[in-house]
Amino acid sequence: MSTSTTCKFAAGLLFALLSCHAWAERRAIRVDGFGDTWTTFDGAPGNGAGIGSANCPGTIAGSASSNTLIHLLGLVFSGRQSTAYLVDDYCQVANPGTLTSQNYFYADEPGLARLFGDNPGNLITGIRYQMFDQPRFNFPAPTGFQWAFYSFPTGTTIVGLYGLESVTLTTSTFISSSIFNGQNGYAGEYFCFSGNTFIGTWDGNASNYASVCVNAALGRVFGNGFEP
């Protein structure tokens, strides 16, 4: 797929904010409007408590810039540490059947979909955290960022940072201080962990069998390994 591939706003359940690109360029923010593929926790009636609750682990509710931080895997994840992104913040959990190569329909993430495969038993799980500077369905679209954590039964977690395509990143975008610092550049790579240990980055190419991340995610999930 060409890196110049773009995706349009989609009517109905999904729409992508900003531009979409293949492989390791910055990715769009994913917003699920009706919660049929991801369950939304935002504190709205019927949706369940959101940021700061057990539904959104690793978060703390509040009005300070530190409340944009995600504390998971023994680390701190910051997309943009600023109160500007606390206007609309919530998390979403992938429903059973969502994380499969057949149902994960993001044109800029074909590699991730291939890693999901058929996801037997729905053992691969996902949670994503949205932080917006205005209500999510405003038009023109809000800006913001999203962290997504895809956990494999091997103990591997693949972490993606979404949005911020048009933002010059600074030290306020980081994973702790030793793993990732946005000021040093970011091209959309995923960050891979085994348990709480950082094992490297991944460019999103599922055919890269030399990738530690690909091997860690798939090598012990499927008995015959990954099949193209």
Task: Give tens-digit pLDDT for 158-168.
Answer: 999 999 888 88
Share of the chain above pLDDT 70, in %: 82
Residue 6 has pLDDT above 80, yes or no: no
| H/E stretch holding 78 | strand 75-78
Say yes or no to pLDDT of 148 above 70. Answer: yes
SS3 labels along 157-200 = EEEEEEECCCCCCCCCCEECCCCEEHHHCCCCCEEEEECCEEEE
> 122, 134 in Cβ contact below 8 A?
no
Q: What is the pLDDT of residues 70-90, one digit of tens each?
A: 999 999 999 999 999 999 999
Region 163-177 average pLDDT: 89
How do the domains of the chain map onto residue ranges?
Answer: 22-218
pLDDT score of 10 more than 70: no
Rounded CA gap, 156 and 216, in Å?
6
User: Taking phi first (over 0 means left), then psi (-120 to 50 degrees means alpha), and beta for anything else, what does residue 206 get?
Assistant: alpha
124-140 tens-digit pLDDT: 999 999 999 999 888 88
- For residues 126 and 93, the answer to whether their CB atoms sit within 8 Å is yes
